[in-house]
Amino acid sequence: MVKDIEVGGGERREIAKDYQDPPPSPLFDGEELGKWSFYRALIAEFIATMLFLYITVLTVIGHKSSTVTDDCGGVGLLGIAWAFGGMIFILVYCTAGISGGHINPAVTFGLLLARKLTLPRAILYMVAQCLGAICGVGFVKAFQSGLYNLHGGGANTLQDGYSKGTGLGAEIIGTFVLVYTVFSATDPKRSARDSHIPVLAPLPIGFAVFMVHLATIPVTGTGINPARSFGAAVIFNSKQAWDDHWIFWVGPFIGAAIAAIYHQYILRAGFVKALGSFRSSSNM
């Protein structure tokens, strides 16, 4: 039985636990670069992000084209949110065992800060995700070129009536919700106790994406995924798409960092455990 350390009231106690925390990933691991599983994971992230952008941006374009002639036409804000959340649920379920199912540079960044993967893997994941996003939106434009250009290309932009600070805050909080859910759903403690329900991790992650979209579509169109915002901006390539594009990188990365720190050092008591280990070693 593995022991956990709890520090409180000047006492150091060991508590039995029924799960095993994986060791922190090194910053660099040259050996993984020579493994096929590493490149297979990159391909999985590329394909998953491409499919994610293709389905979701096509849904956005289809909705906007339907509402031109009928205000009640299209899938509505609720349908768009379901498209984003549903695709994340599906794709995380399909790729979690291969690449971890990140499909989002902000998620990758948060996991990097928590030392869940190496720096080279994180960088290449982000590159694969951005390239996949560009290809996914490119397919939308190829199949629906007229409607794509007419209805904004699914690009994230700051909506009228909202300041840059409001947009940045919405992206930070929305990404915090997503990445916090990712950490909680993939926590070794939860995984050990819920291992009989294999869909439990992708489900709350997809639902978090759905809920955040409901809240922030009216503000920024909902980024919370730099690859999604970047791919749409590259293919649509208008001044409007690039004007406030920094919000869709800075906001998600800040939100992911806060979520990683909150989960690892407060909820999982990483800081307290490290302090307890330091005190015990200094008393030897």
Which residues are within 8 A (CB) of 62 and not within 5 positions of it... i.e. 6 or more apart? 74, 75, 147
In 3D, which of 55, 222, 42, 208 has the Cα closest to residue 130?
42
Task: Quick: pLDDT tens for 179-193.
Answer: 999 999 988 776 555
Task: Quick: pLDDT tens for 155-205.
Answer: 999 999 999 999 999 999 999 999 999 999 988 776 555 555 555 789 999
Do 5 and 277 form a contact (C-beta atoms < 8 A)? yes
Task: Quick: pLDDT tens for 79-123.
Answer: 999 999 999 999 999 999 999 999 999 999 999 999 999 999 999
Tell me the one-letter amino acid at 57. V
pLDDT at 240 over 50: yes
Cα-to-chain-centroid distance, residue 128: 14
CA distance 97 to 93: 8
pLDDT at 12 over 60: no
CA distance 61 to 236: 12
In 3D, which of 119, 125, 154, 115 has the Cα closest to residue 41?
125
Query: Would you call 108 helix, strand, or coil by DSSP?
Result: helix
Length of the chain: 284
- The predicted pLDDT at position 168 comes to 97
CA distance 88 to 65: 24
- What's the whole-model pTM score? 0.86
Distances (CA, A) of 270 to 20, 66, 190, 215: 15, 50, 17, 31
Q: How confident is the model at residue 8 (pLDDT cuts 50, 70, 90)?
A: low
**Could you give the percent of the chain with pLDDT greater than 90?**
65
CA distance 66 to 145: 16
Containing 181, the helix (H) or strand (E) segment is helix 164-185
Query: Would you call 2 helix, strand, or coil by DSSP?
Result: strand
Cα-to-chain-centroid distance, residue 280: 37
Give me 40's structure tokens: 């297979």
